């Protein structure tokens, strides 16, 4: 079974051998590179093992023939779909050339410049073709008028943040003619965007952008209709009227100025992000807001991801760090679960729409939870850590513990930031420590501090271990401080 990856941003001069050289020493089977090209400059690469595919994904952002490329997980189905689209486009081009030049269809093709000049002259001589804005495409090729495709087409977008603008959407649909866009509009039970294209063909091509990334966000693209567009327009106009009524009366000069330019009013209601008064009719009419506490639980996140990266992923860089809470395990290390607390309904809905998106090689899971559920999960993890600190037996009562003021622990410093428990365990291999006896410390973003706490079975054992103070290990001199179990608890509690 092959693992298929999609490469974007390929340089036009790059060939199959360049792609193979880029992924060396990873094994790509014969025929495992397919260059599709297109507006996204794509290529598909097959790998024989999941391990090689994961290593290939790490090369996203690297330069291939001077062009930065990005890697995405794909499938054989997507590859076949892309190839079918290419074949259809080639057939259409051949039919078009046959219709335009029936007598010269079998003659050798001119070079690109001569062909472009001939087609331009032909367009100038023919008034019917010259009158059409779509007659000459952006790449210089001439396409015949098609009455069916001349009608505008529509698509719906889901998963975009509320701060998305028309310019962002135009950049996303590079190569297609976007006429207008309505952002953050109610589409069924969810909020999304409606996009209007110049013709039906562009709208059909836009469906190929489904699950393509916009920044770090996977955008879902679905078909739309003119009825949806008109309904959304009417909704925006209604919201605009409600907003105008809520404002104090302005002087007559401003009102007259607004009446003279109704087009600007209409476009403003579409392109500008809806203000707070504009959202009220949407919520009352078709949407019941979630509870006052907008909390989501995100599972299967990479453990090395920090709070800033999480906020960027969910499109909410302005929420405070304290609203991003890592769930820690019984050893005080980060798990793959994080809680996010939102104070805006739009950010909350957007976060829920990201469930199933890939972060790295894994699809994340986003669930709506209550504050009580969040606190229960955090309390359970905290109680496990407390039992661990009190002793190896969780059922043991605190008053039955031995004297916790004895210096039976070591505070180890000057370690590499990426140090692992196993490396610390090898340092103290003579004392047969368990994994539970070692705690590696991290900051609030989950980055290593190069510090660790180690608990020994007695003060005597800790004093023997302390003799390694100043010893060189992992490239630096170790710094030890003898502390008690109570002091160890204080250090851990400050970091929970």
Other CB atoms within 10 Å distance of the CB of residue 483:
20
Question: Can you tell me which residue has the tokens 């510090």?
Answer: 451
Domain parsing of the chain, residue ranges: 3-81, 147-288, 294-382, 403-495
Residue among 66, 71, 70, 67 at smallest CA distance from 47: 71
Strand bridging mode 479-483 / 409-413: antiparallel
Q: pLDDT tens digits for the chain (496 residues)?
A: 788 999 998 988 888 999 999 998 888 998 889 998 887 888 999 998 888 888 899 898 889 988 889 998 888 888 888 888 888 877 777 676 665 555 444 444 334 344 434 444 444 443 333 333 333 333 433 333 344 456 889 998 888 887 888 888 888 888 888 888 988 888 776 778 899 998 888 888 888 888 788 876 778 888 888 888 888 888 777 776 666 665 554 444 344 443 433 333 333 334 433 444 444 443 333 344 444 568 999 999 988 888 988 988 888 888 898 899 998 887 778 888 999 999 888 888 888 888 888 887 788 999 988 888 888 888 777 766 665 555 444 444 443 344 567 899 999 999 998 888 888 988 998 888 888 889 999 888 888 889 999 999 889 999 999 999 999 988 889 999 999 988 998 888 776 5
- Show the tokens assigned to 238: 């209604």
- For domain 294-382, the CATH class is alpha beta
Could you tell me if 34 and 44 are in contact, meaning their C-beta atoms sit under 8 angstroms apart? Answer: yes
Q: Give the fold, CATH level 3, of 403-495.
A: Alpha-Beta Plaits (3.30.70)
For the domain spanning 3-81, the CATH number is: 3.30.70.330
Helix (H, G, I), strand (E, B) or coil at 490: helix
Q: For the domain covering 147-288, report its CATH number.
A: 3.30.70.330
Give DSSP secondary structure letters for 34-55: EEEETTTTEEEEEESSHHHHHH
3-state secondary structure of 9: coil
Domain 147-288 identical in fold to domain 403-495: yes
Q: What is the CA radius of gyration of the chain?
A: 31
């Amino acid at each position: 079974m092959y693992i298929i990856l999609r490469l974007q941003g390929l340089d036009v001069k790059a060939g199959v051998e360049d792609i193979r050289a880029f992924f060396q020493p990873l094994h790509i089977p014969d025929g495992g590179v397919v260059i599709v090209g297109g507006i996204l400059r794509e290529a598909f690469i097959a790998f024989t093992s999941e391990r090689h595919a994961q290593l290939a994904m790490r090369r996203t952002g690297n330069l291939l023939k001077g062009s930065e490329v990005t890697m995405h997980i794909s499938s054989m189905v997507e590859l076949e779909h892309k190839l079918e689209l290419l074949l259809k486009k080639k057939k259409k081009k051949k039919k078009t050339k046959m219709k335009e030049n029936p007598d010269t269809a079998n003659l050798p093709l001119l070079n690109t410049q001569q062909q472009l000049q001939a087609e331009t002259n032909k367009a100038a001589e023919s008034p019917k073709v010259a009158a059409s804005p779509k007659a000459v495409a952006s790449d210089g090729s001439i396409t015949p008028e098609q009455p069916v495709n001349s009608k505008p087409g529509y698509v719906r977008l889901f998963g975009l943040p509320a701060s998305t603008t028309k310019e962002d959407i135009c950049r996303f649909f590079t190569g297609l003619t976007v006429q207008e866009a309505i952002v953050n509009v109610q589409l069924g039970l969810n909020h999304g965007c409606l996009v209007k294209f110049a013709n039906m063909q562009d709208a059909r091509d836009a469906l190929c952008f489904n699950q393509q990334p916009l920044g770090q966000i996977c955008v879902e693209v679905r078909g739309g209709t003119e009825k949806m567009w008109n309904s959304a327009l009417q909704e925006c106009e209604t919201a605009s009227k409600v907003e105008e009524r809520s404002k104090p009366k302005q002087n007559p000069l401003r009102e007259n100025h607004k009446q003279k330019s109704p087009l600007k009013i209409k476009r403003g209601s579409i392109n500008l992000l809806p203000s707070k008064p504009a959202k009220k009719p949407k919520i009352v009419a078709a949407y019941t807001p979630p509870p006052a506490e907008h909390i989501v639980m995100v599972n299967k996140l990479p453990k090395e991801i920090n709070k800033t990266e999480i906020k960027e992923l969910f499109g909410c860089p302005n929420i405070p760090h304290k609203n991003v809470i890592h769930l820690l395990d019984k050893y005080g290390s980060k798990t793959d679960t994080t809680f996010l607390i939102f104070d805006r309904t739009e950010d909350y809905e957007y976060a829920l729409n990201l469930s199933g998106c890939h972060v790295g090689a894994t699809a994340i899971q986003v669930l709506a939870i209550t504050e009580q559920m969040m606190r229960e999960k955090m309390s359970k993890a905290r109680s496990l850590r407390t039992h661990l600190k009190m002793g190896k037996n969780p059922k043991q009562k605190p008053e039955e513990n031995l004297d916790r003021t004895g210096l039976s622990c070591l505070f180890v410093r000057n370690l590499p930031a990426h140090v692992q428990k196993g490396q610390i365990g090898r340092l103290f291999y003579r004392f047969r420590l368990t994994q539970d006896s070692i705690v590696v410390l991290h900051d609030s973003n989950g980055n290593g501090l190069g510090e660790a706490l180690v608990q020994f079975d007695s003060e005597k054992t800790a004093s023997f271990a302390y003799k390694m103070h100043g010893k060189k290990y992992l490239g630096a001199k170790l710094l030890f401080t003898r502390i008690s179990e109570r002091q160890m608890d204080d250090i851990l509690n400050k970091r929970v």
